[in-house]
Structure 1
Amino acid sequence: MSNLQQVLSMLKQNTKEHYKEVERLLEKVINNILKDPKNVKLRTLKKSNVTVSQKILKSPGGVECLKLMGFQESDSDFTLPLHAPLQHLELIKENISVENVFKETPVEKVLHKVELPKFSSKYTNKFLQEVEHRFHLARIHDDVALQDQAKELICEAGIEAKAIQSMRSIQKNVLAGDLEDPNISMQEVLLSELLAWFKNDFFSWVDSPKCEKCDSPTKFSHMSTDSELLKYTDRVEIHNCTVCNASTPFARFNDLNILLATRKGRCGEWANTFTLFCRAMGWEARHVYDETDHVWTEVYSVAQKRWLHCDSCEAALDTPLMYESGWNKKLSYIIAYSGEDLQDVTWRYSSRHKEVLSRRKKCTEIELVSAICSLRNERQKGLSETRREYLNKRVLCELIEMMVEKEATEKDKKGRTSGSMAWRLSRGETKRDFEGKIWKISDTNIFSLKYCTSLDQYLVNNEKIKNFSDGVFKMNGVFRKEEKDWRNAYLCREETVSVGSITWAFQVDFDQKSIDEIIIYFDYTTYEDGNVTVSLKNENKRVDFIKGQKELKTFDFSNSKYIEITATLTGGSGSVYWQHAQLFRQSLDSEKFPFTVEIKLK
């Protein structure tokens, strides 16, 4: 794929409405330079310029588009050298129109039929028939032509560069004593970067498509029975416009050739395509199907000699208990499929094995084990004896691993983030509210808490505590975001959350003492019309930070034993409004503390 095609592909990840403004600004930059090509000022775009930063640099494909024009990046700006050929600007101008970027590739032009062997199930049990059918379809990910097609779409050089940068950062923090050695391999770092790229730059989530007639939101109505619409898939949803009531079809494709072109859908399309990408990277990967309606990928870690859970919809790596602990799923059957193997992996995804076992009623356990062994042995007949022996040993190790019930970590307890909040709440797969830590202050005259966003770490009276959520009392729709390209980290709202809030709580747990003075440094950043309000309160009193204020010293809570610090995030503009109110933004290389609390007792 050419560089231009890659850039156009990235630009398509913007919403159509947002991209219209991106196109306008890019064309303005190009036209200004073409009219006065020797004007150095017109050839320089300052990163500090809010319009440039928010509308171009932070939009998918924006930076890549500038670099394709010939712009060179420095710490403070993007500059087009005087010797850069103007033909590049003209080429970009010819191709970045909204109509060109968002044009749909006709399905007929992307079909590359992969002929799988004919399928006829040998089982009478409906569930076992489905297992056999999915195992049959899993062969599709081994198709070399499809893998080559996927490989051309992967921004491999960029992913590798970020992986190397991440590995160096990990090593630096380990050497400094700020991070326990995670014993992570380059394959795993690459996998993490591939997940981030796939979610943020390549594939798009669709709850309901925009109206084809007026571009307004739509709402699901029914499944289509139109034979013309069902030409390339057996499932097409019809969504009705909430404004003009026109109908818009949304096809749920399984064909990977089509998905590589459309690049949109829900978890089925995401997992199907991401599994192919992992195979294209040369990794052993499995397509994992959960009977409670979700799909994801597993990739085999050569270094750890075990399968890693990978959810491309969430960009989640190795957090297998999140569905049970974070999404509140009542799991039953989870089966992993590849071209040469299948496995019941339910037990990897649960810490409540007996509870899960009580829900498995689609067939007997003996019938399921027998079917899996039979299907696996039949598929592996054509493999070499060495390969079969290797696979058998790997299966044995996996079965032993899954016998142990593991405890959920904080990462496992996070609710679902893919899909709109309303859609997630309707499925019971996310938690709008969170309640946790109250910092207890005892046997000290001065309590000190500091938080470093880049390390995601608290320093509490010289004790290091990882993960910002571990120190939070209440949280509504706020998460920690890393901008890998810009090397920044901050707390902000989740997408679709209009009002986010986060609260830290402190309690004096010492009879002879109470609060005297409170000293707070609370850094935040806003863009466009984003807004952050900060307040201190307890049951008797409330003190608000003045707008723009980031430091506060107060005796107003003197003699109290309890205090809460709450930040509320609102406002913002456009499709990334949720990023326009940020807490504790700092460089990933920084080790400063943008949030500090000092409580003096008396």
Structure 2
Amino acid sequence: MSCRVASADQRLYGNLHHYVDQVLSYERQCVVNKAIDVLPWIELTKLAKENVAGAGLDPNSLIFWDFLMAEAVKWFKRSFFKWMTAPKCSQCGCDTSAIPLQLQPTQEELNYGASRIEGYRCTSCDHLERFPRYNSVEKLLGTCVGRCGEWANCFTFLCRVLQFNVSCRDEICMRFLLNTYQIQVRYVVDLLGDHVWTEYYSLHEKRWIHVDPCEEAIDRPLMYEAGWKKEITFICAFARDHVADVTMRYSSNHGAVINRRLKSSFESPRLYNFLWKTTQRLKACLMENQRKELDVQLACDLVNMMVERTPGQESMGGRTSGSMAWIMSRGEGDGQSGDVKFVFRPSARELACNKMHMKYNCRRDMYERTVGQEIIPGWRNGTYSSYGVFRKEERDWKKAYLARLEGRERGSISWLFEVSEDVTMKDVRIRFCGSRFEDGDISVTVTSGETQVKLNCDQDSGGDLTAIPELAGTKTFCIDCKLSGGVGDCAWQHAQLFRESTESDAEDVTPFEVIICFE
């Protein structure tokens, strides 16, 4: 056992040295030049200045850099880098599935830091596809694809050179900008939790700010613990002039972190010794005034992290990057996503009446089956599956509805209805009401075997029940709803389901209703 622990520690400290070298590689001028060619500096600068001015602030003040960072992460996620779940087959374009064995890297792959090569087999032509996990930012600037490791590595590097103007090709001018207007960035690693992201130092707020390019998240450090349900133990930040333990910024329960550290085989004193010695070595390259400024900055950061903060609603969502199956396999869901696998089946009383009548009341957040007066409390408890959706109650507007979690690009819900072999559905009618704002989109499909019917969403809850004659004679069907679109920070609110007043005492005309008659 002790040999295995020693081996694990050896690998972990090998990784720590690797992260230091990785961040130092960001300083290579030839790679910096390539990054300058990639970054849409003029566009990002223009958008940032417009947003600063729109907020009634001075575009020439230090807050400009915070707005610029916000634009940079939007561009990186939406336009530049792509997520890789599994590669498409390069021979026939079909899907591939992972094989359990790692492939041997070629010399070229090793030259670009890809010591780990994932293998995927085409489901159609059986072709073997390679997915090298590159660590070279030079290579990533060309491939523009990966998972969180590649995303954070490339994004941190691009932030490192973000201050360069595309017109500044003169090396002396570049060095002047490097020393004068540098955006300080750190590559942040959850050492025991398999995730990486970025921090940058805000000159305006005088503190380090969390940025996760995979999630397009800024200043939401508690999202991993509160939303992803991760146990935070050791998190380190790597910069070109220091390495720091930043664990406490990412937890709202410092006592639990300390208890986990005491139980961990990873020795805290040894880690602190590594951090201190590495920082002293990196600081040796700085001038005296720069070392003093860094010491003050790190001391202030320690004081800032000593305060336990309570996570807000913005931190409660689970992971959004990657497929749902991959997210759930890593245990990084939000607790409001996943498969409940509830199935609406007719009860003995409903069969005796040849009718099932289900209604969902969003104001009371419950399902009601009118034949037999059965109640199912909670919207999620009546779903077959759901992803990134929650129930919102607006106390100012006095409205309740279902919507996707804030920050989610998409959300989905499905409901499943099924009868036994000796029963057949004769008539199916559905009322499904959604409210769209701006560019919000709601897509509803009713599926039974090969049959698919698009369902229109009524804009108010007084819409008529829609007959689905295609379901006559079937034994099962599923209602699938997808939420997406919208504009700006409130995009998640621009596609709403089952919107109702929370004050109405009148007879309910429910926004979601299914009536099935049997024969």
TM bucket (normalised to shorter chain) is 0.5 to 0.7
Query: 1:440: Cα distance to partner?
Result: 8.3
Query: 1:127: Cα distance to partner?
Result: 3.7
Corresponding position: 1:381 with 2:284: yes
Instruction: Determine the structure 1 residue equivalent to 2:248.
Output: 347
Instruction: Determine the structure 2 residue equivalent to 1:130.
Output: 15
Query: 1:324: Cα distance to partner?
Result: 0.9
Instruction: Determine the structure 2 residue equivalent to 1:42.
Output: none
Instruction: Determine the structure 2 residue equivalent to 1:318.
Output: 219
Is the deviation greater in 300-309 or in 126-135?
Answer: 126-135
**Residue 285 of structure 1 is aligned with which of 179, 185, 191?**
185
Taking the aligned partners of 2:207 and 2:81, their CA distance within structure 1 comes to 27
Taking the aligned partners of 2:326 and 2:256, their CA distance within structure 1 comes to 27
Query: 1:230: Cα distance to partner?
Result: 4.4
After TM superposition, list the pairs within 5 Å mapping 1:20-99 onto structure 2. Answer: none
After TM superposition, list the pairs within 5 Å mapping 1:329-408 onto structure 2. Answer: 329-360=230-261, 361-408=264-311
Q: Give the secondary structure class of the aligned counterpart of 1:358.
A: helix
Contact 1:163 1:190 in 2 (8 A): yes
**Residue 134 of structure 2 is aligned with which of 232, 237, 253?**
253
Taking the aligned partners of 1:189 and 1:429, their CA distance within structure 2 comes to 29
Query: 1:328: Cα distance to partner?
Result: 1.1
Taking the aligned partners of 2:252 and 2:489, their CA distance within structure 1 comes to 34
Query: 1:170: Cα distance to partner?
Result: 3.8
Amino acid at match of 2:320: T
**Residue 458 of structure 2 is aligned with which of 532, 549, 571?**
549
Q: Give the secondary structure class of the aligned counterpart of 1:393.
A: helix
| Residues 94-116 of structure 1 deviation map (CA, whole Å, 9 limit, x = unaligned) | xxxxxxxxxxxxxxxxxxxxxxx
Corresponding position: 1:225 with 2:120: no
Taking the aligned partners of 2:231 and 2:310, their CA distance within structure 1 comes to 16
Contact 1:238 1:249 in 2 (8 A): yes
Instruction: Determine the structure 2 residue equivalent to 1:208.
Output: 86
After TM superposition, list the pairs within 5 Å mapping 1:188-199 onto structure 2. Answer: 188-199=66-77
Query: 1:155: Cα distance to partner?
Result: 1.4
Taking the aligned partners of 1:236 and 1:411, their CA distance within structure 2 comes to 36
Amino acid at match of 2:76: F
Taking the aligned partners of 2:197 and 2:324, their CA distance within structure 1 comes to 20
Is the deviation greater in 411-420 or in 222-231?
Answer: 222-231
**Residue 234 of structure 1 is aligned with which of 101, 105, 115?**
115
Query: 1:311: Cα distance to partner?
Result: 0.6
Amino acid at match of 1:298: E
Residue 355 and residue 547 in structure 1: after superposition, are their counterparts in 2 closer, same or farther (change >3 A)?
same
Taking the aligned partners of 1:601 and 1:439, their CA distance within structure 2 comes to 10
Taking the aligned partners of 2:439 and 2:74, their CA distance within structure 1 comes to 25
| Residues 415-465 of structure 1 deviation map (CA, whole Å, 9 limit, x = unaligned) | 001111111011111136369x98689xxxxxxxxxxxxxxx9864568xx
**Residue 152 of structure 1 is aligned with which of 22, 25, 37?**
37
Query: 1:339: Cα distance to partner?
Result: 1.1
Contact 1:223 1:238 in 2 (8 A): yes
Amino acid at match of 1:266: R
Q: Give the secondary structure class of the aligned counterpart of 2:260.
A: coil
Q: TM-score when scaled to structure 2?
A: 0.64
Contact 1:521 1:597 in 2 (8 A): no
Amino acid at match of 2:459: K
Residue 139 and residue 419 in structure 1: after superposition, are their counterparts in 2 closer, same or farther (change >3 A)?
same
Taking the aligned partners of 1:346 and 1:155, their CA distance within structure 2 comes to 33
Q: Give the secondary structure class of the aligned counterpart of 1:551.
A: coil
Q: Give the secondary structure class of the aligned counterpart of 1:130.
A: helix
| Residues 330-361 of structure 1 deviation map (CA, whole Å, 9 limit, x = unaligned) | 22211100111110111111112222222223
Taking the aligned partners of 1:137 and 1:327, their CA distance within structure 2 comes to 27
Contact 2:440 2:494 in 1 (8 A): no
Amino acid at match of 1:155: P
Instruction: Determine the structure 2 residue equivalent to 1:412.
Output: 315
Query: 1:286: Cα distance to partner?
Result: 0.6
Taking the aligned partners of 2:106 and 2:305, their CA distance within structure 1 comes to 45
Instruction: Determine the structure 1 residue equivalent to 2:327.
Output: 424
Instruction: Determine the structure 2 residue equivalent to 1:265.
Output: 146
Query: 1:532: Cα distance to partner?
Result: 7.8
Instruction: Determine the structure 2 residue equivalent to 1:522.
Output: 435
Contact 1:196 1:315 in 2 (8 A): yes
Taking the aligned partners of 2:267 and 2:105, their CA distance within structure 1 comes to 39
Instruction: Determine the structure 1 residue equivalent to 2:170.
Output: none
Contact 2:439 2:487 in 1 (8 A): no
Contact 2:461 2:500 in 1 (8 A): no
Instruction: Determine the structure 2 residue equivalent to 1:601.
Output: 505
Is the deviation greater in 137-146 or in 326-335?
Answer: 137-146
Contact 1:416 1:430 in 2 (8 A): yes
Corresponding pairs, count = 380
Taking the aligned partners of 1:529 and 1:589, their CA distance within structure 2 comes to 16
| Residues 513-550 of structure 1 deviation map (CA, whole Å, 9 limit, x = unaligned) | xxxxxxx99346999994389xxxxxxxxxxxx94532
Residue 247 and residue 374 in structure 1: after superposition, are their counterparts in 2 closer, same or farther (change >3 A)?
same
Contact 1:211 1:248 in 2 (8 A): yes
Structure 1: gaps (5+ residues): 1-123, 173-182, 442-456, 482-490, 502-519, 534-545, 557-567, 572-577
Query: 1:135: Cα distance to partner?
Result: 1.7
After TM superposition, list the pairs within 5 Å mapping 1:469-484 onto structure 2. Answer: 478-479=404-405
After TM superposition, list the pairs within 5 Å mapping 1:150-189 onto structure 2. Answer: 150-171=35-56, 185-189=63-67
Residue 548 and residue 367 in structure 1: after superposition, are their counterparts in 2 closer, same or farther (change >3 A)?
closer
Contact 2:434 2:458 in 1 (8 A): no
Taking the aligned partners of 1:340 and 1:305, their CA distance within structure 2 comes to 18
Taking the aligned partners of 1:276 and 1:264, their CA distance within structure 2 comes to 15
**Residue 275 of structure 1 is aligned with which of 156, 168, 193?**
156
Q: TM-score when scaled to structure 1?
A: 0.56
Taking the aligned partners of 2:26 and 2:251, their CA distance within structure 1 comes to 27
Residue 601 and residue 301 in structure 1: after superposition, are their counterparts in 2 closer, same or farther (change >3 A)?
same
Q: Give the secondary structure class of the aligned counterpart of 1:601.
A: coil
